[in-house]
Amino acid sequence: MGQFHFAVPSDSTQLLKQTLWKDAYICGIEGVPWECNNTVSKGVLSITRPVETSGKLFLTCPTKGLGYRTLSTCSLMPGSDPYPLFLELARGSCFRARIQSSNWKRAGLSLGDRFDELLERGTSQFLDATESKSDLEECSRCAMLAIATLEQAIADLGESFAVQSIAYRKQREPQLGTLLACSVVPPAPTRSALSNRFEKAFNSAAVRLSWGSIESEAGRFDFDTCDRSIHWCSERGIRVIGGPLIDFRKQLMPPWLYLIEDNFDSLVQSVTQYTQRVVDRYRGSIHLWNCATGLNTLGPVRLDDEQVMRLAVAVLQTVRRADPNTPAIISFDQPFGEYLAKHRDGISPLHFADALARSGLGMAGVGLDVRLNYDSNCTLPRSAVDFGQMIDRWATLGMPMLVQLTIPGGCGPDEKSMLNPATLVAGSNKQELSANQLRIAGPIVRTLLAKHMVHGIVWDGWADNEPHVQSHSGVIDSVGVARPMLDYFERLRQELLT
């Protein structure tokens, strides 16, 4: 059993409590988190995992000027002696900034003077922290300064990559063919006074054809609201992404599911019957089927690896058999795999996708569901550079990707949200929260547009004053006022997309 210990000085214990230390994890060179047991006692963060091998710590911390950011150390050996926490995190930030910038510079990326200045200053601050290692308080103070500076440098580096890569893509294709969609919960967004801006901002719509809404009573299917949504899109020539048909989260599954949760064969039969009815009804109106999402994470029904694979295959086969001419994908929740640190029996998202890709069932691509700044069941906040590296790892499958992104623009109760999870507060007022949504999302969206393997981006939330899934996720707030995110998508559509 491997144990890692990380120490902070007494005056920084409050800062340690502000980190998401319960979600911290260790992973090895393969990049897959191990199940970890985390404790904090007397200013020492201790992480235990089943194997005694070296690994990197990933810890989400409040970072000056950037909000919450997941930091990582370099590879460390387990042992009884504690490492200075912030010094090791600063070492990791320095390593990532220098290695990634060196790689991209050799590939032809131009780095600005601001990045060079931040990197030089951050490296100097890290060296100051190293020299004062014997004084834990001074070491931590210098290390935290280094982290803030180096993470700003990484943010600047990511922006340089996105801007220059998009410019390169535009030289080859003046209008990018990337799908830019907004997810809507039927009925169509006709009640909002800003609904006419939907067409200006998005070239596609992701219409949720939720099993829990369509078959709220076993054997009775209600398609009225979905019909109106798809008809609304068809009238305006908006391409439609249908689904996800199965969203494996309790609130989005039928309320009668408990009647069959102990009978896997009945579950598969009910899922395929529902899928068949939906595809038969909307065949010819859907441009891309998003068959299922969240099967790789724990859902309302406990399934083993074999059952999860069988369920995914059953849904995909049903869609492909009923509509062989329309592309179909399976989506995967939390593509970094953070949930594996809490569940021994979890399925690695990339390994699961690889198995489906090799199955020969005709899966046209993979979907990645990314929810940021929620306090549970979400992707931990990361830099745009980290997201780009994650996309590169998934690109090894050789399949197009559809990325669904959700970031809250508010906090507190949300009456029209189906899930209403709590958010990580990152602002003091309504305007600041809305601006923070754009500040976090903008670099990630630009990075996704820079990646040619990303064929589609879906923003999961149109308006908070209409039914929606994730709390405060809309580009329109709860009183019908457009958030800065909507203006941003309109500019992107006008400048870059077809």
- The secondary structure of residue 402, as a DSSP letter, is E
Band (213; pLDDT cuts 50, 70, 90): confident
- Give me 135's structure tokens: 């004084």
Q: At residue 426, does pLDDT exceed 60?
A: no
Long-range interactions of 119-128: CB distance < 8 A, separation 24+: 119/150, 119/153, 121/149, 122/93, 122/94, 122/97, 122/146, 122/149, 122/150, 122/152, 122/153, 123/94, 123/98, 123/150, 125/90, 125/149, 126/90, 126/91, 126/93, 126/94, 126/150
Same domain, yes or no: 179 and 151:
no
Burial state string for 107-123 with b = 16 or more CB within 10 A and e = fewer than 16: eeeebeeebeebbebbb
Question: What are φ and ψ of residue 45, in 5° steps?
Answer: -90, 120
How far, in whole angstroms, is CA 351 from its chain's centroid?
17
Nearest CA-CA partner of 75 in 36, 109, 27, 33: 27
Same domain, yes or no: 311 and 439:
yes
Same domain, yes or no: 109 and 202:
no
- How would DSSP label each residue in 201-247? H-SEEEE---HHHHTSBTTB---HHHHHHHHHHHHTT-EEEE--SEE
Rounding to the nearest 10 degrees, give the CA dihedral for residues 390, 394, 400, 402: -50
pTM of the model: 0.91
Burial class, 65, CB count within 10 angstroms (exposed 0-12 / middle 13-18 / buried 19+): exposed
CA distances from 394 to 350, 351, 430 (A): 7, 10, 36
Rounding to the nearest 10 degrees, give the CA dihedral for residues 58, 59, 65, 67: 120
CA–CA gap between residue 201 and residue 215 (Å, rounded): 32
Same domain, yes or no: 442 and 322:
yes
pLDDT in tens, 25-70: 998 877 788 888 888 888 888 898 887 788 899 999 988 888 889 9
Residue range 156-175: average pLDDT?
90
Question: What are φ and ψ of residue 385, in 5° steps?
Answer: -65, -40
pLDDT in tens, 11-25: 777 778 888 888 899
Burial state string for 145-173 with b = 16 or more CB within 10 A and e = fewer than 16: bbbbbbbbbbbbbbbbbbebbbeebeeee
Instruction: Tally Cβ neighbours within 10 Å of residue 489.
Output: 24
pLDDT in tens, 94-109: 999 999 999 999 988 8
Same domain, yes or no: 208 and 109:
no
CA–CA gap between residue 348 and residue 55 (Å, rounded): 17
Q: At residue 226, does pLDDT exceed 60?
A: yes
Kindly state whether residue 290 falls inside one of the protein's structural domains.
yes
Same domain, yes or no: 128 and 183:
no
Strand partners, 4: 47
CA–CA gap between residue 80 and residue 437 (Å, rounded): 41
CA distances from 92 to 56, 168, 387 (A): 9, 30, 17
Q: At residue 345, does pLDDT exceed 90?
A: no
Last residue of one domain, picked from the residues 160, 185, 215: 160
CATH classification of the domain holding 289? 3.20.20.80
Kindly state whether residue 35 falls inside one of the protein's structural domains.
yes
Same domain, yes or no: 144 and 187:
no
Residue range 295-321: average pLDDT?
89
Kindly state whether residue 225 falls inside one of the protein's structural domains.
yes
Band (243; pLDDT cuts 50, 70, 90): confident
pLDDT in tens, 313-343: 999 999 999 999 999 999 999 999 998 888 7
Of the listed ranges 173-182, 279-288, 323-332, 425-434, the least confidently predicted one is 425-434
Kindly state whether residue 168 falls inside one of the protein's structural domains.
no
Same domain, yes or no: 156 and 177:
no
Same domain, yes or no: 216 and 267:
yes
Amino acid found at 30? E
Q: At residue 430, does pLDDT exceed 80?
A: no
Last residue of one domain, picked from the residues 118, 139, 160: 160
Residue range 262-272: average pLDDT?
89
Question: SS3 for 424?
Answer: coil
Residue range 447-452: average pLDDT?
94
Residue range 297-319: average pLDDT?
89
Band (443; pLDDT cuts 50, 70, 90): very high
Last residue of one domain, picked from the residues 110, 135, 160: 160
Nearest CA-CA partner of 406 in 478, 329, 327, 470: 470
Residue range 193-214: average pLDDT?
86
Kindly state whether residue 203 falls inside one of the protein's structural domains.
yes
Q: At residue 191, does pLDDT exceed 60?
A: no
- Give me 335's structure tokens: 């593509």
Asked whether 396 and 404 are in contact (CB, 8 A), the reply is: no
- How would DSSP label each residue in 295-308? TTS--SS---HHHH
What angle is formed at CA 168 by the lines to CA 166 and CA 172, rounded to 5 degrees? Answer: 110
Q: At residue 165, does pLDDT exceed 60?
A: yes
Same domain, yes or no: 261 and 402:
yes
Strand partners, 47: 4, 38
Band (388; pLDDT cuts 50, 70, 90): very high
Kindly state whether residue 34 falls inside one of the protein's structural domains.
yes
Kindly state whether residue 166 falls inside one of the protein's structural domains.
no
The domain of 344 spans 173-496
Of the listed ranges 58-62, 132-136, 155-159, 447-451, the least confidently predicted one is 132-136
Nearest CA-CA partner of 224 in 359, 80, 131, 232: 232
% of the chain at pLDDT higher than 70: 95
Residue range 129-134: average pLDDT?
89
Nearest CA-CA partner of 397 in 329, 325, 309, 339: 329
Instruction: Give the chain's mean pLDDT.
Output: 88
Asked whether 475 and 485 are in contact (CB, 8 A), the reply is: yes
Same domain, yes or no: 206 and 348:
yes
Total domains present in the chain: 2
Same domain, yes or no: 65 and 88:
yes
CA–CA gap between residue 278 and residue 399 (Å, rounded): 25
Rounding to the nearest 10 degrees, give the CA dihedral for residues 53, 54, 55, 59: 100
Kindly state whether residue 165 falls inside one of the protein's structural domains.
no
Q: At residue 487, does pLDDT exceed 70?
A: yes
